[in-house]
C-alpha cells in the first residue's frame, strides 16, 4: 500500500510538470490557434539556462528561478515575432511545419554543442518519511510550485484587465480588435506567459533529472496528448489531463515496465481518439 501511495505521489509530481507545460501549450492553442510544437524545446533551453546560471555564474537556485522565467519569456516573445507572426494567415499546417523547423533547430543545435547529461544540485537535499511513505523534498517543491503558478495564472486571467483582454482574444479575435484590444500585444503576452511557465517547470524539475537535448521532444508529445485528452483549448482539461497522465504513467512504470515508460502516453492518445475524440472536457474544435 505504501509503495502504491509513493507511486501516486511521484505521479502527481510528474503530472505537475506536465500541467505546467501543457497549460502553456493550451494557452497558445486556445488564444492564438497555433500548435506550438517547439514548446518543449523552450523548456529544454530553460533547463540549460538554469545549469549555466547555477554552475557557471553560481546564482542561488531560488534566484535563478525568476531569472530563467523572465529570460525564457523573452525567448518566447522572440519566437512569436520571428516565426509565428509572419505565418498568421497561412494554413495551420504551415505553422506546424515552422514549429517543427524550430524544434529541429534547437534540438540539433544543443546536441551539436554536446553538453549531455548535466545535473544541478538540489536546493533542499532532504528526504521526508512518514507513515511508510518516503519522498524527496524536491518532489514536494515541484508539486507546490505548480499549484502556486496555476493559481496565479488563474487569478491573472480572471481578475485583471489584461487577463480579460486575453480571454476576449481567445473568444473572438476580430471582435477583440474592434473594441480596441491590441491583438499583437496579446499574442506576445501569451507567448511570454506560456514560455515562462515552461521555464518554471524546467527549473523545478532539473534537480530531479538529467538535463539533455532530448528532454523537450518526448515532453512536448506528452503535452499534446494532454491537450487532446483534456479537450482542445480547455484549461481545466489541461490541468486534470496532466495530473491524470502523470499518475497513470508513474503506476505503469512501477507495475508494468520502465523500458516502455514513454510509450504509455501515446497508447492513451490512440485510445482517446478511438473512443472519445473530443477529450474529457469540451474544448474548441
Partner 1 sequence: MEEKLRKFGKPAFCLLVLGIACALPWIGLKLYQVRVLTLAMAWAIAAVSLNLILGYTGQASLAHGAFLGIGAYAFGIFTERVGLNFWLAFLIAGLVTALLGFLVGLPSLRTKGPYFAIVTLCFNVIVFKVFENWTWLSGGIQGQKVPCPGFLAQRWARYYFVLAVLVLVLVVVRFIVKSLLGVTFMSIRSNENLAEAVGINTFRYKLLSFTVSCFIVGLAGALLAVENQHLDFTVTNYAYSFNLLVYVLIGGVATLSGPVLGAVGLYYFLDYMEKSLGEYRFVLFGFILIVAIIYFPLGVMGGLKRLWEWINGRRARYKAQEVAP
Name the residues that contact partner 1, by CB under 8 A: 35, 37, 83, 86-87, 90-98, 100-109, 111-112, 114, 218, 221, 224-225, 228, 259-260, 262-263, 265-267, 269-270, 273-274, 277
Q: In terms of CB distance, is 70 or 267 closer to partner 1?
A: 267
Least Cβ distance, residue 219 to partner 1 (angstroms) = 12
Bridge-based pairing state of the strands 133-136 and 127-130: antiparallel
- In this complex, which beta carbon is closest to partner 1, that of residue 5 or of residue 97? 97
Q: Which is nearer to partner 1, 28 or 141 (CB)?
A: 28
Q: What secondary structure letter does DSSP report for 52?
A: I
CA–CA gap between residue 6 and residue 87 (Å, rounded): 46
DSSP string, 52-106: IIIIIS---HHHHHHHHHHHHHHHHHHHIIIIIGGGTTS-HHHHHHHHHHHHHHH
Nearest distance in Å: CB 98, partner 1: 5
Report which of 156, 141, 268 is spatially closest to residue 207, judged by C-alpha positions: 141
- Which is nearer to partner 1, 162 or 273 (by Cβ)? 273
For residue 28, the minimal CB distance to partner 1 (Å) is 12
Phi, psi values for residue 115, rounded to 5°: -90, 95
Please state the closest distance from residue 234 (CB atom) to partner 1, in A: 15
Amino acid at each position: 500500500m505504501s509503495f502504491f501511495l509513493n507511486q501516486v505521489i511521484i505521479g502527481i509530481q510528474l503530472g505537475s510538470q506536465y500541467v505546467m507545460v501543457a497549460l502553456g501549450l493550451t494557452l497558445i492553442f486556445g488564444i492564438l490557434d497555433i500548435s506550438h510544437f517547439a514548446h518543449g524545446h523552450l523548456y529544454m533551453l530553460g533547463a540549460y539556462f538554469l545549469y549555466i546560471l547555477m554552475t557557471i555564474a553560481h546564482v542561488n537556485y531560488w534566484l535563478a528561478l525568476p531569472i530563467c522565467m523572465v529570460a525564457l519569456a523573452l525567448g518566447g516573445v522572440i519566437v512569436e515575432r520571428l516565426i509565428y507572426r509572419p505565418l498568421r494567415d497561412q494554413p495551420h499546417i504551415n505553422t506546424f511545419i515552422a514549429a517543427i523547423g524550430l524544434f529541429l533547430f534547437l534540438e540539433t543545435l544543443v546536441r551539436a554543442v554536446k553538453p549531455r547529461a548535466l545535473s544541478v544540485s538540489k536546493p533542499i537535499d532532504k528526504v521526508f518519511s512518514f507513515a511508510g511513505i518516503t519522498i524527496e523534498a524536491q518532489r514536494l517543491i515541484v508539486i507546490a510550485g505548480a499549484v502556486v503558478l496555476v493559481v496565479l495564472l488563474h487569478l491573472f486571467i480572471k481578475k485583471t484587465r489584461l487577463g480579460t483582454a486575453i480571454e476576449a482574444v481567445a473568444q473572438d479575435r476580430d471582435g477583440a480588435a474592434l473594441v480596441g484590444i491590441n491583438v499583437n500585444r496579446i499574442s506576445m503576452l501569451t507567448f511570454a506567459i506560456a514560455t515562462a511557465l515552461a521555464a518554471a517547470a524546467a527549473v523545478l524539475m532539473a534537480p530531479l533529472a538529467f538535463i539533455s537535448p532530448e528532454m523537450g521532444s518526448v515532453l512536448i508529445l506528452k503535452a499534446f496528448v494532454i491537450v487532446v485528452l483534456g479537450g482542445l483549448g480547455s484549461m481545466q482539461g489541461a490541468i486534470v489531463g496532466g495530473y491524470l497522465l502523470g499518475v497513470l504513467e508513474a503506476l505503469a512504470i512501477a507495475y508494468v515496465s520502465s523500458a516502455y515508460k514513454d510509450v504509455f502516453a501515446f497508447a492513451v492518445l490512440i485510445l482517446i481518439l478511438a473512443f472519445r475524440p473530443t477529450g474529457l472536457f469540451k474544448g474548441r474544435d
